[in-house]
Amino acid sequence: MTAILEQIKTVDPQETEFHQAVKELVESVTPLLAQTPEYVMAGVLERLVEPERVLSFRVPWVDDRGKVQVNRGYRVEMSSAVGPYKGGLRFHPSVNLSIMKFMAFEQVFKNALTTMPLGGAAGGSNFDPKGKSDEEIMRFCQAFMGELHRHIGPSTDILAADIGVGAREVGYLFGMYRRLRNEFTGAMTGKGTGWGGSLMRPQGAGYGCVYFAQEMLATRKTSLAKKTCLVSGAGNVAQSTVEKLIELGARVLTLSDSSGFIYDGEGIDMEKLAHVRLIKNVRRGRIEEYVEKYPQAIYTPLTADMESNPLWRNRADCAFPCATQNEINEPDAYHLINNNIKLVVEGASMPCTPRAIEILMGKRTLFGPNKATGAGGAALSGLEMAQNNMRLSWTRAEVDERLQLIMKEVHQTCLDTAARHGTPGNYINGANIAAFNKVVSAMQDQGVV
């Protein structure tokens, strides 16, 4: 099965993140493929690594000085075998086709695990929202949707949030979509709760990964109560992860952004978290500002030349990387295991490098891969779509109950599948094989398309 990896590397040598995502899946499913010649004959892997459609488009917009700026927009529609394409939009200067393809690839399997009939896609732009005025954000979103609107729809491709896209951006994007299409349909999730959004949509990914962590710890007869936790990131996933961890009695010590991290030995409580939300969501400032209000906390700046992130050198029981891809590398993983970390749950997409995963798993650390642990965000989008289709809104308690059930089921599926395939406790294999089976059996049923 290394042939497929060689092939994608030859065709698109620069797409390193995409290669990484494919390699991880292929490693898990290789033994299964060896016993399933019909999958090999049907070219399922070859089809899965080739997006059904890739859109790349110009996004011209006018900045506050009246100068025209041009960014590149993308939508990678990876697979619609299980349901309509659905997945996040990321606005970040690092966005390129490799990142879009890795996100879309992960999304196919993450969505498959949610138990809902959803295909996978991802999109975004190399636009940097940092330092932009609200008006610039609006003009950019309108220009982006000016092209994308013709390719999406509630039964075709549904857009969700990712890095750099939150309630404000979803509002501007949806406003333009509605205007251009002259219809009010659920082609986006993360909408305002007064106009079709689901309660708890922003909490789906963070709460979901904490629910998953709870299930993982229960297999070792322990819980999150009184556990010390390192959380990276300070965006939507990190904020809601911290919120649920606090609720469940854990002590959260850290948060970060691309400039640095804060360590609060007393633990981040609900009041401090509210202040983080004010800094990040309202003032759109830096996490460094946390120490102005809470001077007992320590701020450590991060610089580009650091070979590892000092955040992961702190002693704790659990780690929740909720910032971005490849944020835990080999030295970081060694620091974590040397400090006796017991559980690593991925809140972000692909935050651990393959080498880091190998090191963590080698030490029997409970390791939750984002395809499974991040299924809560994807599932909440599915729940928003369901409510839109029925034109009604569920209460917070109803949504939360469904989310908890889904995360329990995803966890059990991973555990059972891993055990059935001879790797008990290996959540990576469990998630990859279960999701792969679901997508591939849909492909087999539908013929060569």
Residue ranges binding ligand GLU (CB under 6 A): 86-88, 107, 110, 160, 162, 189, 205, 349, 374, 377-378, 381
Nearest residue (CB) to ligand GLU, 88 versus 166: 88
CB closer to ligand GLU out of 84 and 374: 374
Nearer to ligand GLU among residue 86 and residue 421 (C-beta):
86
Nearest distance, CB of residue 406 and ligand GLU, angstroms: 13
In the complex with ligand GLU, the residue whose CB is nearer, 142 or 198, is 198
3-state SS class at 156: coil
**Best CA proximity match to 367, nearest among 402, 406, 418:** 418
Distance CA(119)–CA(137), nearest Å, equals: 29
**How far is Cα 118 from Cα 441, in angstroms, rounded to an integer?**
14
Half-sphere exposure of 301 (CA within 13 A, CB side): 3
Contacts of 135 (CB under 8 A, 6+ apart): 64
Nearer to ligand GLU, 86 or 251 (CB): 86
Beta-carbon contacts of 149 under 8 Å, excluding residues fewer than 6 positions away, are: 176, 177, 180, 181
User: Least separation, in Å, of the C-beta of 201 and ligand GLU?
Assistant: 8
Q: 3-state SS string over 227-268?
A: CEEEEECCCHHHHHHHHHHHHCCCEECEEEECCEEEECCCCC
Q: Which is nearer to ligand GLU, 205 or 356 (CB)?
A: 205
User: In the complex with ligand GLU, which residue's Cβ is closer, 83 or 260?
Assistant: 83
Cβ distance to ligand GLU smaller for residue 297 or 378: 378
**Nearest distance from C-beta of residue 434 to ligand GLU, angstroms:** 17
Rounded least distance, CB 53 to ligand GLU, Å: 18
Name the region of 441 (left: φ>0; alpha: ψ -120 to 50; beta: rest): alpha
Q: Give min distance, CB of 383 to ligand GLU, in A.
A: 10
Nearest approach, Cβ of residue 252 and ligand GLU (Å): 21
The H or E element that residue 91 is part of is strand 85-91
CA 240 to chain centre: 13
DSSP secondary structure of 334-350: HHHHHTT--EEE--SSS
Q: Is 6 exposed, middle or buried (0-12, 13-18, 19+ CB in 10 A)?
A: exposed
Q: CB 385 → ligand GLU: shortest distance, Å?
A: 9
Instruction: For the CB of residue 202, give the shortest distance to ligand GLU in the complex, in Å.
Output: 10
| Cβ-based nearer residue to ligand GLU, 129 or 260 | 129
* Residue 62 CB partners (closer than 8 Å, separation 6+): 68, 69, 139
Closest C-alpha among 56, 178, 189, 170 to residue 116: 189
Q: What is the DSSP string of 14-66?
A: T-HHHHHHHHHHHHHHHHHHHT-HHHHHTTHHHHHTS-SEEEEEEEEEE-TTS
Helix, coil or strand: residue 316: coil
345: left (phi over 0), alpha (psi -120 to 50) or beta: beta
- Using the minimum distance from each CB to ligand GLU, give the nearer residue, 107 or 324: 107
List, in sequence order, the alpha helices (H) in 268-318: 270-277, 290-293
CB of 185 to ligand GLU, least distance (A): 16
Q: 29 or 205, CB closer to ligand GLU?
A: 205
**Residue least distant from ligand GLU (Cβ):** 88
Kindly state the smallest distance separating residue 189's Cβ from ligand GLU, in Å: 6
Q: Give dist(CA 349, CA 102) in Å, integer.
A: 9
DSSP state of 282: I
The closest alpha carbon to 382, from 198, 123, 235, 121, belongs to 198
Task: Tell the smallest beta-carbon distance from residue 141 to ligand GLU (Å).
Answer: 17
Q: Between 110 and 191, name the residue whose CB sits nearer to ligand GLU.
A: 110
Tally DSSP H helices, then E strands, for the chain. Answer: 17, 13
Nearest distance from residue 51's CB to ligand GLU, in Å? 16
